[in-house]
A and B are shown apart, each in its own frame.
Chain A
Amino acid sequence: MKTANQPLLSLKGITKQFGSLTAVNGVDLDVCPGEIVVIIGPSGSGKSTLLRSINFLEEIEEGTILFEGQEIGYVTSKHGRRHLDAPHKICALRSEIGMVFQHFNLFPHMTVLGNVMEGPLTVQKKSPQEAREIAIDMLAKVGLSDKRDVYPATLSGGQKQRVAIARALAMRPKLMLFDEPTSALDPELIGEVFDTIRDLGKEGMTMIIVTHQMGFAKEMADRVIFMEKGSFVAQGTPEDFFANQMEHDRIKSFLNRIL
């Protein structure tokens, strides 16, 4: 039963450990359809790990992930051991959740169009013509129609990231995860990527954005979350967050360092 108020994504008690280090410590988070959640916090606070856990790039030790009300990704074996679900199921889940990385991770041996076509072609087994049409649409969306036939090596950082966004969008995901999408960019290139992501938000895309860029938090977030040492320290609407949560010493010192 799906209701209007049902969260698209619901995280309960997510815990991820690297050896003795607890990177994410019992995090709960509900993301409603169309909501834009921006997670900020110092390096090593577990933001990226949390994001990667949602896409199963990290295997969590504890907690459950619900997507559209369904518990996903993990099964418990007869011996009571929890482990990741069968690979084909994980792949099916991932294809519904798009992810954009700090370092773009474009496929350098494919043209821009090839990169964007790859998901529909290989994962969704669409025909080359169909995949091509989707890719052309997505490239138009990120404003890179003219770069269709070049290889990624010739693009600027901002262009690369926009191609990466188009590549993720080509799978028609229900949720987009952005892992520090502008951190590897020169300052003057941040704007174009920022605008692309903001346009996506305006179209109603549900997004979780991990960033150091306060612009995301201030200008497009429905909710801002401050994360530190694996936990959510504070959260609220941007207005509320920047007005009231600033009282929080740790947030204040973090923001002072950033701004």
Chain B
Amino acid sequence: MKFFNGRIAKRSILLFSCVLLFAASICFAKDYDQLFTEANDAMAQGDLPAAISILKKVEFEKGDDSGAFVRSRMQIARLQFALKDMNAASAAAKEVLAVYPDNSEALNFMASVQQEQKPRYKVFIEDCLRFLPQLLKGAVMTITLVVCIILISPVGGLLIALGRISTFKPVSGLCWFFIWLFRGTPLLLQLFFIYYGLPSLGITFKPFTAAILGLGLNYSAYLGEIIRGGIQSIEHGQMEAAKAIGMTYWQAMRRVIIPQTYKRLMPPIGNEFIALIKDTALVSTIAMVELMRSADQMFNAYFNVTALILAALIYLLFTTIFTFIFEKIEIRAGIYENR
């Protein structure tokens, strides 16, 4: 039975193809499908010039509404484009425009050929001008975040540092735990937890608040350890001398110990803040539109690497400015050592 059915099926397919061939030969003067198949084979083998010469055999015929001509010429245009022969590519597209002046595919193609024929730097500048407004908006947000954290985290860090060196065990233990927690888990995870995790506990933050909270806690933990190191690096005699003239612990800290840490703290804190500029990119994952997110949006919309290069340049500009500022502050903070 099976054998019989198979034969029937084979025969019916054969018969059906014959009918189709006949119908096609009535409709078209020539059978272009064969040519397209050959051309595809040639392309599959990587022989683009061969594919082009095959496709050239397709000719324009009045009243042909199958689109074979347009299809073949546009294919040639794309292949020539790929072969970097812009003149041949535009010639193929022009052939289409000669008979169909409104063909949008050909018009778009001509535009991109023109774009391609421009000098590279012009293209780059145009891309820059196209992407910059969006990227600068993102950069403003990045800087806003950085400035907020630079204002918040030293205060948090100082409190944590003082807590860590406190002789009151519950306070020093709590600060130890805080540092352990926020230094020991990824910042990305912390941001996710605050923005996506806490709502399930009934606590919801706006993206900006969540970003400030996440970055602020994380950087306070890091600065806490740095500041503690700075305080403990000040010679013990300084605290004794301050106490000997009658200062309380807190007066000694405020007037004598902490001011002496500034110069020592500048290099590591500068380091942290430069890391911060780059870490703000992580908040793009919690619906914040800052520089990284803007660059990503531009890159995805235009599939144009210029957006990423520009973003990198803006980040570099920021980090360079910060490095410069921190060097200046460091020199000022240590002015008493050099006079």
Which A residues form the contact surface with B (CB < 8 A)? 55, 57, 87-88, 91-92, 94-95, 98-99, 101, 103, 105-110, 118-119, 122-124, 150-154, 164, 167-168, 170-171
Contacts and interface: CB of A to CB of B under 8 A. Distances in A.
B170 interface: no
A171 B245 contact: yes
Interface string B219-249: 0000000000000000101101111111111
Most buried by B among A92, A105, A150, A154: A105
Interface string B232-269: 00010110111111111101000110011000000000
Contact of A105 (B238, B248, B337): B238
A88 B241 CA distance: 16
A57 B294 CA distance: 59
B258 to A, nearest CB: 10
Most buried by B among A57, A91, A98, A168: A91
Contacts of B242: 107
B167 to A, nearest CB: 12
A108 B246 contact: no
- Which 9 A-B pairs have CB atoms at the shortest separation, nearest pair first? A95-B246, A105-B241, A119-B245, A105-B237, A99-B244, A123-B246, A151-B336, A94-B246, A91-B246
B2 interface: no
B237 A101 contact: yes
Contacts of B249: 87
Contact of B247 (A98, A123, A154, A164): A123
B240 A105 contact: yes
Given A101-B237, A103-B237, A91 B339 contact: no
Given A151-B336, A153-B337, A106 B241 contact: yes
Interface of B is mostly: helix
Contacts of A153: 336-339
B244 A94 contact: yes
Contacts of B247: 91, 119, 122-123
Contacts of A118: 245, 255-256
Nearest to A94: B246
B245 A108 contact: no
27 contacts: A55-B244, A87-B248, A87-B249, A88-B248, A91-B246, A91-B247, A94-B243, A94-B244, A99-B244, A103-B237, A105-B237, A105-B241, A106-B241, A109-B260, A118-B256, A119-B246, A119-B247, A122-B251, A122-B255, A123-B246, A123-B247, A123-B251, A150-B339, A151-B339, A168-B245, A171-B245, A171-B246
Most buried by B among A109, A151, A152, A153: A109
A204 B314 CA distance: 70
A119 B243 CA distance: 10
Given A95-B245, A124-B246, A168-B244, 12 more contacts: A87-B248, A94-B246, A98-B245, A101-B237, A101-B241, A105-B241, A107-B238, A107-B242, A122-B251, A170-B245, A171-B245, A171-B246
B246 A107 contact: no
A216 to B, nearest CB: 20
Contacts of B248: 87-88, 91
A124 B245 CA distance: 10
A167 B240 CA distance: 13
Contacts of B235: 105
A107 B243 contact: no
Nearest to B249: A87
A107 B244 contact: no
Contacts of B339: 150-151, 153-154
A57 B256 contact: no
Contacts of A55: 243-244
B158 to A, nearest CB: 17
Contacts of A119: 245-247
A101 B245 CA distance: 12
B259 A109 contact: yes
B235 to A, nearest CB: 8
A170 B337 CA distance: 25
B336 A57 contact: no
A109 B244 contact: no
Interface string B178-212: 00000000000000000000000000000000000
A256 to B, nearest CB: 32
A86 to B, nearest CB: 10
Contacts of B237: 101, 103, 105
Contacts of A108: 260, 336-337
Contacts of A92: 246
A167 B336 contact: no
Interface string B295-339: 000000000000000000000000000000000000000001111
Nearest to B256: A107
Contacts of B255: 118, 122
Nearest to A56: B243
A170 B245 CA distance: 9
Contact of B243 (A57, A164, A167): A57
